[in-house]
Structure 1
């Protein structure tokens, strides 16, 4: 059994402790090493595109919910993605998909997560599940639907210590944000928090995103990032005296004897003592967690909300993830220029980001990102940007030189 098929059976044990097995649609032959059914008749789910490469898991018996699940979890940012979406949605809506996709995840009858969600929301719930690519923080995101295919909400379940911590952190963040009045941002309301199978469970309302929303323009991105920063009163401090620098140094120490730690520590200690503005950051602001209309931004996935960080991190994070879509190394090279231009925008200058601090903020962001990846062990899980010695440390070395040059020019 492949590692992905093994992950799928482990996930089945968490979501459906009544038991699950992987097999084929036309026979009862399980994959080698599959978890056996323990009782009752099985419900069937389709791992798409296959059990060896699962990205979404859809109910066989409800084609309306399955078609909605395909549309909800599709990344429609290229012609290829749009064509795939049309074909998959049509296959499920017509009922043909179960004939084309052979792999099945069969779940025995008994108490399952659908029952817990139905009880929490006081209505019948059908689920479709987003699994996503391998990475340390991969966890199931459940699309909650009525039997007719109307979206009710989304649920997250922790599956290991890291993802359990993130689900709990997002539950706390959404409770805080529910008391916040944004002028241009909408965030999901929490509908239920609790546990399932001994693991944290969060249910939140769906946001009205779809064909009427799009990726942000440059100005929308900057305004959104600054409004998030203002979740706490903005303040300015010298890098040497700020609490953030001390916390970041502690985080580097906590990653222990990792080979990258000395370079990160030296980079932090070598940055110029410039004055920086501090505020809050979303922590993972990307095209997958942000959609906009001309007047409003819709932002979700608040599991890494953090306070007291240099202003500009959210903008840099969004831009880096955009730049690397066509390749990590050329993307990082572009980001070194485009990220700096974003930080020099008049909106960022108005928030206190000075010209002599641009490269320092970018370097701090990379050090922060590296410590996150190392702590979460993203490289071991196969994360796309996790090999920091391959791209991040060389980029950081260049930024150290730029930061020193900018500081000298301001003297």
Structure 2
């Protein structure tokens, strides 16, 4: 078995306590008596590269799962979505897709969710690419195909912390004033098979929404920053810097600790504005119209970070889509331009702090990746010594120059 097929069978043991076996559509899993078989699910595009898991027995749920989880940010992605939805709608998908995940008969995650929400439902499951914080996201649908919401189930200690953190963030945000930004409501929080579980409402995104423009993004960033009281402090006196230093220290004897700590100590002691940041604002977690942003995946919400972090995170993830090294090179310029935008200037982001904020963001990101052990999971940005530490060296020089020469 490959790493991915092992992941699928381990995941099945979490979602369906009676477990699951991989097989093909022509004979079922080996050594599985027919009386013990439950539902069949299709790993798409295959068991060796699963991105979604769709029910063979519910054509409507499978079709909605394809459209709901599709990114459709490129022509190739839109064509793939069109082909898959057509295959499932016509009923030929089970004939074209050979791999199956057979789950045992008996109560599973869908039964627990139906009981928790007190309604009949079907599910489709999104997995995404391999990374340390990978966890199943379940699309919950009524029998008629209407979206009820999305469920997240933890599969290990890291994802357990993230699921609990997101539930807490959604509770906090339900009481926050976020003009022009819609956040999903928390519908249910509990446990399943010993792991944290939450259900949140689905946001009304689709054909009428798109990726945000620069202005829409920065407007959203300013709204998120203001979830917490915006304060101005010198870096050396900020609770944020102390907390970041402690997080670096907890990495122990890793070779990256020395360069990260040295970079933090060398940054100029400028005055910065601190507030909230989403923590993972990317094209996959935001959609909008001209007047409103819809933002989800709040599991990394922090109430104390330098203003502008969300803009830098979104921009970095956009820049590296075509390659990490050229993308980071572009980001060093485009990120600086974002922080100099008048919308962020209104928050107190000043020209003499731009490179300091960018350097702090990279130190924070590296610390997160190292704590989460992202490199071991193959994330394309996770090898911090390959691109992040070199970029950080240049930013330190820029930060020192700006602090002295920029008014």
Structure 2 length-normalised TM: 0.98
The residue that corresponds to 1:268 in the other structure is 264
**Contact 2:248 / 2:261 at 8 angstroms: preserved in 1?**
yes
Question: How many residues matched?
Answer: 407
The residue that corresponds to 1:117 in the other structure is 113
Check if 1:188 corresponds to 2:184: yes
Check if 1:343 corresponds to 2:339: yes
**Contact 1:237 / 1:276 at 8 angstroms: preserved in 2?**
yes
CA distance in 2, matches of 1:282, 1:37: 48
CA distance in 1, matches of 2:61, 2:220: 33
| Per-residue deviation, 1:39 | 6.6
Structure 1 residue matching 2:27: 3-state secondary structure: coil
- Mapping of 1:238-317 within 5 angstroms? 238-317=234-313
Q: Unaligned regions of 5+ residues in structure 2, if any?
A: none
CA distance in 2, matches of 1:347, 1:360: 18
CA distance in 2, matches of 1:347, 1:57: 42
**Contact 2:21 / 2:29 at 8 angstroms: preserved in 1?**
no
Structure 2 residue matching 1:54: 3-state secondary structure: coil
Check if 1:18 corresponds to 2:10: no
Q: Unaligned regions of 5+ residues in structure 1, if any?
A: none
| Per-residue deviation, 1:282 | 0.3
Check if 1:54 corresponds to 2:41: no
CA distance in 2, matches of 1:50, 1:346: 47
The residue that corresponds to 1:401 in the other structure is 397
Which sits farther off after the overlay, 12-21 or 360-369?
A: 12-21
| Per-residue deviation, 1:29 | 4.4
| Per-residue deviation, 1:178 | 1.0
| Per-residue deviation, 1:376 | 0.2
Q: What do residues 7-56 of structure 1 show as CA deviations (whole Å, max 9, x unaligned)? A: 000000000002211100011344xxx9x679733210000001111100
Structure 1 residue matching 2:165: 3-state secondary structure: helix
Check if 1:237 corresponds to 2:233: yes
**Contact 1:363 / 1:396 at 8 angstroms: preserved in 2?**
yes
CA distance in 2, matches of 1:326, 1:29: 39
Check if 1:130 corresponds to 2:130: no
CA distance in 1, matches of 2:126, 2:231: 39
The residue that corresponds to 2:9 in the other structure is 9
**Contact 1:74 / 1:81 at 8 angstroms: preserved in 2?**
yes
Q: What do residues 91-121 of structure 1 show as CA deviations (whole Å, max 9, x unaligned)? A: 0011010000010011111111111100111
Structure 1 residue matching 2:381: 3-state secondary structure: coil
* Correspondence for 2:168 among 153, 165, 172: 172
| Per-residue deviation, 1:233 | 1.2
Q: What do residues 72-92 of structure 1 show as CA deviations (whole Å, max 9, x unaligned)? A: 111100000000000000000
CA distance in 2, matches of 1:307, 1:29: 48
Structure 1 residue matching 2:45: 3-state secondary structure: strand
Q: CA RMSD in A?
A: 1.2
